[in-house]
């Protein structure tokens, strides 16, 4: 029996029904809190310039922080240099959804801000990843109860507004990432690559997802036997080809910008400085110039509160990932007889199949901590399922810390919704 069939046989249907009900409840509660918070005075009233006060408050609350950039690109395309920091996936979805919504408003001839914002919110609503996470957790943890626990914990994200409500990259990137990870678990490699390519159109670090394909096709088979041996050249070529596909959205985004900014033959036009770089990447340029992103640039006293706010998520991911890698390493490197002894004693959470997830989480934490606006970890953690497996581990094996995590998730989740709606940081 293959892994897909065996996992399916373990699924209690009542778990899926419970997850559906809880997902709906979490979204309703999020919307209710956003609606209540929308009556608070705005810290930044710039959204009122673009969306009329008479517009329904749940719609006006969609226009916050990066949603300005996504919505403007969806409406007008890439007009300004700084907009190239945002990948085209989210604006494309917002634009497409708003065009579909126009069929309900035949009297209107043009797409407005309200259409764009509502289209993004509707598309976000369709990208629920809870049940995909359940199937993925069931494959790895081999326990319906643990899979249910991890999936329920995912309903307490550290940035509910961006994951469950607004037209942001988070819901779409998370949706396609989870689908690709589940396809890797089921050894559906081409399908996984397609999902990862779609995910990479929403976020610049999406090409890192190709590591799951390399792990499954090259690294994992090389140590499964008694001796280390490389897969066949055909399998290596297949893995490299599928992984290369995940770089296409990033490369195409850079190429499009280069063609727009750097290929003019008119000597009177001053080319941007980044066009003359050895690797002319507009993404690296705008991140550095407009967002001051760079190694340790965010480590200032003024940003200490933002780093502190993100510390619970970063600490959980760091600790669990390092423990996972250190526990998996002996089983990966030891001979087959010793592997069986180690597996008997192992925790259900520290298993070899979670190793690529732990490696990706470690890379992500390093980038967020040393070369990013660290507080965006609150948004990006949702796309890393090991966040919720780590939280489940706390509840099962470290109950006191598990209760602390749940309390923090509920309290901070509610606070973050109020801050988001009032247009207050963290962004």
**CA-only gyration radius of the chain, Å:** 23
Q: What is the pLDDT of residue 1?
A: 42
pLDDT tens figures, 100-121? 887 776 656 677 888 899 999 9
Q: What is the pLDDT of residue 344?
A: 41
pTM: predicted TM-score of the whole model, two decimal places = 0.92
Cα(26)–Cα(121) distance, integer angstroms: 15
Please report whether residue 282 resides in a domain: no
Q: What is the pLDDT of residue 287?
A: 95
Q: Are 75 and 95 in contact (CB under 8 A)?
A: yes
Please report whether residue 213 resides in a domain: yes
**Percent of the chain whose pLDDT exceeds 70:** 89
Please report whether residue 4 resides in a domain: no
pLDDT tens figures, 322-346? 999 988 777 666 655 455 554 444 6
Cα(264)–Cα(262) distance, integer angstroms: 6
Q: What is the pLDDT of residue 332?
A: 67
Please report whether residue 189 resides in a domain: yes
Please report whether residue 49 resides in a domain: no
Cα(50)–Cα(403) distance, integer angstroms: 43
Cα(139)–Cα(225) distance, integer angstroms: 22
Task: Tally helices (H) and strands (E) across the chain.
Answer: 23, 0
DSSP character at residue 371 = S
DSSP character at residue 296 = T
Alpha-carbon dihedral 185, 191, 193, 195, rounded to 10 degrees: -90
Per-residue pLDDT tens, the chain, 427 aa: give them: 455 544 455 578 899 999 999 999 999 999 999 999 988 887 766 666 677 665 667 788 888 899 999 999 999 999 999 999 999 999 999 999 998 887 776 656 677 888 899 999 999 999 999 999 999 999 999 999 999 999 999 999 999 999 999 889 999 999 999 999 999 999 999 999 999 999 999 999 999 999 999 999 998 888 766 556 777 899 999 999 999 999 999 999 999 999 999 987 777 678 899 999 999 999 999 999 999 999 999 999 999 999 999 999 999 999 999 999 988 777 666 655 455 554 444 678 888 899 999 999 999 999 999 999 999 999 999 999 999 999 999 999 999 999 999 999 999 999 999 999 999 888 6
Please report whether residue 116 resides in a domain: no
Please report whether residue 51 resides in a domain: no
Q: Which stretch of DSSP H or E encloses residue 36? A: helix 13-37
Please report whether residue 290 resides in a domain: no
In which domain, by residue range, is 144 found?
A: 13-42+127-246+296-421
Q: Are 160 and 381 in contact (CB under 8 A)?
A: no
Nearest partner of 252 among 207, 291, 214, judged by Cα: 207
Looking at the structure of the chain, the number of domains it has is: 1
């Amino acid at each position: 029996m293959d892994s897909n069939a065996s996992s399916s046989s373990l699924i209690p249907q009542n778990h899926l029904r419970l997850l559906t009900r809880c997902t709906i409840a979490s979204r309703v509660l999020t919307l209710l809190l956003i609606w209540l918070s929308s009556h608070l005075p705005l810290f930044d009233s710039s959204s009122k310039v673009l969306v009329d006060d008479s517009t329904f408050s749940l719609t006006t609350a969609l226009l916050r922080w990066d949603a300005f950039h996504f919505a403007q690109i969806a409406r007008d395309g890439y007009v300004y240099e700084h907009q190239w920091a945002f990948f085209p996936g989210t604006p494309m979805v917002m634009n497409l959804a708003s065009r579909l919504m126009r069929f309900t408003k035949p009297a209107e001839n043009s797409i407005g801000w309200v259409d764009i914002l509502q289209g993004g919110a509707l598309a976000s609503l369709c990208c629920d990843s809870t049940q995909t996470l359940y199937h993925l957790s069931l494959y790895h943890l081999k326990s319906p109860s643990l899979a249910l626990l991890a999936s329920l914990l995912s309903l307490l994200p550290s940035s509910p507004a961006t994951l469950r409500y607004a037209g942001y990259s988070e819901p779409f990137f998370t949706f396609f990432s989870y689908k690709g990870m589940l396809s890797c678990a089921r050894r559906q490699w081409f399908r996984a690559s397609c999902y990862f390519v779609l995910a990479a159109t929403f976020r610049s670090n999406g090409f890192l997802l190709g590591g799951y394909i390399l792990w499954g096709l090259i690294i994992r088979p090389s140590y499964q036997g008694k001796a280390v041996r490389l897969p066949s050249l055909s399998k290596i070529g297949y893995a490299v080809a599928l992984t290369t596909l995940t770089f296409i959205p990033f490369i195409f985004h850079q190429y499009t910008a280069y063609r727009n900014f750097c290929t003019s033959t008119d000597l009177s036009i001053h080319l941007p400085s980044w066009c003359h770089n050895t690797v002319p990447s507009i993404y690296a340029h705008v991140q550095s110039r407009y967002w001051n992103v760079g190694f340790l640039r965010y480590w200032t006293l003024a940003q200490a509160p933002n780093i502190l706010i993100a510390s619970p998520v970063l600490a959980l991911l760091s600790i669990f990932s390092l423990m996972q890698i250190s526990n998996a390493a002996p089983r990966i490197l030891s001979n087959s007889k010793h592997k069986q002894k180690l597996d008997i004693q192992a925790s259900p959470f520290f298993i070899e199949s979670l190793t690529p997830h732990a490696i990706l989480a470690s890379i992500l934490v390093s980038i967020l901590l040393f070369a990013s606006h660290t507080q965006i970890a609150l948004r990006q953690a949702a796309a890393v399922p090991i966040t919720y497996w780590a939280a489940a581990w706390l509840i099962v094996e470290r109950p006191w810390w598990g209760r602390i995590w749940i309390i923090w998730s509920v309290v901070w989740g509610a606070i973050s919704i109020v801050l988001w709606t009032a247009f207050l940081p963290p962004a």
